[in-house]
Structure 1
Amino acid sequence: MTSLPPGPKGEPLFGSSRTYARNPFRFISALERAYGDVARFDMGPMDTYMVCDPTAIERILVSAADRFRKPDFQGDALGDLLGDGLLLSEGDTWEQQRQLANPAFSMARLSGMADRITSHAKRRVDGWDPGDAVDIEREMTRTTLDVILDLMMGVELSEKRVRTIEEQLMPLGQRFEPDPIRFAAPEWMPMPDDAAFDEAVETLDSILDDVIDVREETVGTDADGPMDFLSILIRARDDGVESPEQLRDEMMTMLLAGHDTTALTLTYTWFLLSEHPEVERKVHEELDKVVGDDDPAMEHVRDLEYLEWVIQESMRLYPPVYTIFREPTEDVTLSGYSVEAGTTLMLPQWGVHRSPRFYDDPETFDPERWRPERAKQRPRFAYFPFGGGPRHCIGKHLAMLEAQLIVATTAQRYHLEFLGETPLELMPSLTAHPRQEMRMRVLER
């Protein structure tokens, strides 16, 4: 057994953090190509193991999940933003919150709300005219914000309020772009973008306070009342099960994590369809056959097989969450290497999803690779856009339902033509955003 995996030799103090910060996507791909299953590098002072072995990833996320935890982010900006919400909490707190959340995310409930998702998509598309040039990332962000506010908080905000939320996303995102100075600096050291970040958090907190106040007037005390997540949490708070601080953390997590990844999935799907007209033609043919002139509904979703493959392939090439982190709570062995408790483990969707070890022509957009007979030939965790195991994304089914219904509603009427430059450049934050404006021409089919 080799005690330490191979990896690049970094600089003094900074390790590989400056190389990583310049382009995390290129760095991840280079390490996966060079070292395969496991690579070791220094992220500033932090010893990091990048794990690209699907068997090891399955063990970390599923079969031995109780021996791994999320790293402690509570002392940094992510903790300030999301607090002890579902994304970051651990142990008993996480288990209690997950139990509370499950009814709001059940397929039984979501299936009955498909028409509301379609309604939000139709309202957005109704604001377009043939020939318009729209920023598709912004349009998809506003649509998915409308959906999460409606389905998970039971409220509808004015366009002005939604725009205010949207305006806070940039300073929040910039705070989490990789920065070698931050990697090397102590957490207490002030940085230039701290003030803008704090102001954005304060603004969102104020909006959430108003949302909670509005929902309190309609939620009631009956356990058979509304089952949106906010209503469930308000009842739990009134029963003494939930603290006001925990309620805030869950709503901030829901507001941000609940819309961003789906908006990005849709943005990249539209880009890829524009770049591959033969795939778009097949999507249109399937929509005409399955949906016809009806509004897309739950009854259609299960038959939109090719559209599902398109969305899966979009998340393979452009996973909105491009890497996740864990740390072992005890010494373990992964892929033949010894890993000490507390070591930072990076599980990069970006590197695994684009690996030629698991995908033929991995840079090619090929929805047909999701045909069941082809997909079953790959290791299970060669694809994990929603994580896996007990900590898998609770919004997985909502995200897929949203994506299919929003694409179907839009593609019934329009073809979208990308007007920007290619190849795309990506901006690494908590999620992978396109760096350029995603302007697209709206054309009638």
Structure 2
Amino acid sequence: MAETPPGPNGEPLFGSSRTYARDPFRFLSALEAAYGDVARFDMGPMDTVMVADPDAIERILVAEADRFRKPDFQGDALGDLLGDGLLLSEGETWERQRELANPAFTMSRLAGMADRITGHAESLLADWTAGDAVDVERSMTHVTLDVILDLMMGVELPDERVAEIQAQLVPLGARFEPDPVRFAAPQWVPMPGDREFEAAIDALDGVLDEVIERRRGTFGSEEEGPTDFLSILMRARGRGEQSPDQLRDEMMTMLLAGHDTTALTLTYSWFLLSEHPEVERRLHEEVDDVVGDERPGMEHVRDVEYLEWVIQEAMRLFPPVYTIFREPTADVELAGYEVSEGTAIMLPQWAVHRSERLWEEPDAFDPERWSPERSEGRHRFAYFPFGGGPRHCIGKHLAMLEAQLILATVASDYRLEFMGETPLDLMPSLTAHPEQEMRMRVLNR
């Protein structure tokens, strides 16, 4: 009979949640280093199993994906925020909504949008001057919000309105920072920050209502109408296949999940380039050779190979989504250990991407590790920033295209010099944000 996974002994009531809350990134890496493939710990009252074995991760996400579901978040804050949108929905609802969404994310459609992505990056740069100090995380959040509003909802909002959206991201993010008291307390117990969280949701719901109102009468027919995600959903609503609540949940999911990870990927890319001038020089040389005096476009994306490696390496070292969860629908054996039905299974990108068992010099920023020669033989789930299997991130291709075009557009004219202290401290929420302001000096190349 398989054994229960090994793991640390936690405190009464809190388990390991206080250690986890102090620094989830260090905790996950230490757990992987100490126990390897599988480890068990208590997150307050919740029995949790961390799985860091690429074979087991592939089995959970791909080969046996139907035996592992996403945990039910509908009764907690994440459910209040995203509801039954694509990120959280299960079963027939997820299958129907994913099928509806697919046309908005095809490469043929996205390729036709490349010029618009570059245009949003150029609009950002119109406000920059050499010598300026800019908050790069804020800038990248603004431009990726512009892109998701345009490409997926068919609107362009004034800068002031986008800034209002950004202001709501602070209380939303704070609600999901790990808190051992929250882990141990029932969901109904009022906690600090709840009121601000609810007000932020109300504010974003107001933005989404405004977006729908602006688009009223523009959704067109099934055969000739636009293929942005909002138009697809509104035509489905017209057929009676989309409730107002489902529409709201999908739009909120798209607004938040659709911009955040790309903004963070770009933020960490700029930071790493600033810290590694030799990598920055090589990237600039490639952009000059491939793009030259032209505007970065779809015709250049295939040829900016080193730039793509930089993005991949940034997502390896600083995966915006640093862990994902599943739970087995029946008792299961993983890597020789027994895991009970309903146990929270944590698949930590952070620990796997930085594992000494899987990577040579895992803490080094080395874009060339993504060259075909050095990638050969690497397990595909030693790296999974977009998840994997049927539930992989639907926006994967958009995120990569967006990151490549924005990075190339900025790098054509400027280099960015980090002005803060290193190493970075990270703030764990739903995604991994820098704790400090990412202030960088804009310099002419």
Residue type of the partner of 1:373? E
1: CA distance, partners of 2:280 / 2:340: 48
Q: CA deviation at 1:217?
A: 2.4
What is the match of residue 55 of structure 2?
55
What is the match of residue 90 of structure 1?
90
DSSP 3-state at the match of 1:442:
strand
What is the match of residue 289 of structure 2?
289
What is the match of residue 378 of structure 1?
378
- Does residue 128 (structure 1) correspond to residue 154 (structure 2)? The answer is no
What is the match of residue 402 of structure 2?
402
What is the match of residue 317 of structure 1?
317
1: CA distance, partners of 2:63 / 2:71: 19
Measured against aligned partners, the alpha-carbon deviations of 1:100-127 in whole angstroms (never above 9, x if no partner) come to: 0000000010000000000000110121
What is the match of residue 393 of structure 2?
393
Q: CA deviation at 1:215?
A: 1.3
DSSP 3-state at the match of 2:427:
strand
DSSP 3-state at the match of 1:145:
helix
Residue type of the partner of 2:273? L
Q: CA deviation at 1:336?
A: 0.5
Equivalent pairs: percent with the same residue?
Answer: 75
Q: CA deviation at 1:275?
A: 0.2
2: CA distance, partners of 1:374 / 1:330: 39
What is the match of residue 44 of structure 1?
44
What is the match of residue 333 of structure 2?
333
2: CA distance, partners of 1:63 / 1:376: 22
The question of whether the paired residues in 2 share the 8 Å contact of 1:3 and 1:338 is answered with yes
The question of whether the paired residues in 2 share the 8 Å contact of 1:356 and 1:362 is answered with yes
1: CA distance, partners of 2:313 / 2:396: 15
User: How high is the TM-score relative to the length of structure 2?
Assistant: 0.99
DSSP 3-state at the match of 1:427:
strand
- Which region of structure 1 is more displaced relative to structure 2, 368-377 or 356-365? 368-377
What is the match of residue 269 of structure 2?
269
Q: CA deviation at 1:374?
A: 1.3
Matches within 5 A, 1:20-419: 20-419=20-419
Aligned-CA RMSD value? 0.7
Measured against aligned partners, the alpha-carbon deviations of 1:360-387 in whole angstroms (never above 9, x if no partner) come to: 1100000000011211222110000000
Residue type of the partner of 2:343? T
2: CA distance, partners of 1:81 / 1:375: 38
DSSP 3-state at the match of 2:216:
helix
Q: CA deviation at 1:160?
A: 1.1
DSSP 3-state at the match of 1:437:
coil
DSSP 3-state at the match of 2:218:
helix
What is the match of residue 434 of structure 1?
434
Residue type of the partner of 1:245? D
Measured against aligned partners, the alpha-carbon deviations of 1:57-90 in whole angstroms (never above 9, x if no partner) come to: 0000000000000000000000000000000000
DSSP 3-state at the match of 1:415:
strand
Residue type of the partner of 2:330? E
Gaps of 5+ in 1: none
2: CA distance, partners of 1:367 / 1:4: 38
Measured against aligned partners, the alpha-carbon deviations of 1:118-144 in whole angstroms (never above 9, x if no partner) come to: 000011012100000000000000000
The question of whether the paired residues in 1 share the 8 Å contact of 2:141 and 2:259 is answered with yes
Q: CA deviation at 1:187?
A: 0.8
DSSP 3-state at the match of 1:310:
helix
Residue type of the partner of 1:418? F
Residue type of the partner of 2:342? G
The question of whether the paired residues in 2 share the 8 Å contact of 1:216 and 1:234 is answered with no
DSSP 3-state at the match of 1:41:
strand
Q: CA deviation at 1:8?
A: 0.3
Q: CA deviation at 1:331?
A: 1.0
Off by >3 Å, runs of 4+ in structure 1: none
Q: CA deviation at 1:222?
A: 4.2
2: CA distance, partners of 1:187 / 1:372: 48
Q: How many residues align?
A: 445
1: CA distance, partners of 2:210 / 2:119: 24
Q: CA deviation at 1:221?
A: 3.3
Measured against aligned partners, the alpha-carbon deviations of 1:320-378 in whole angstroms (never above 9, x if no partner) come to: 00000000001111000111110100000000000011111100000000011211222
Q: CA deviation at 1:218?
A: 1.3
DSSP 3-state at the match of 2:217:
helix
Residue type of the partner of 1:255? L
Residue type of the partner of 1:56? A
2: CA distance, partners of 1:156 / 1:297: 20
DSSP 3-state at the match of 1:98:
helix
Q: CA deviation at 1:192?
A: 1.2
DSSP 3-state at the match of 1:88:
coil
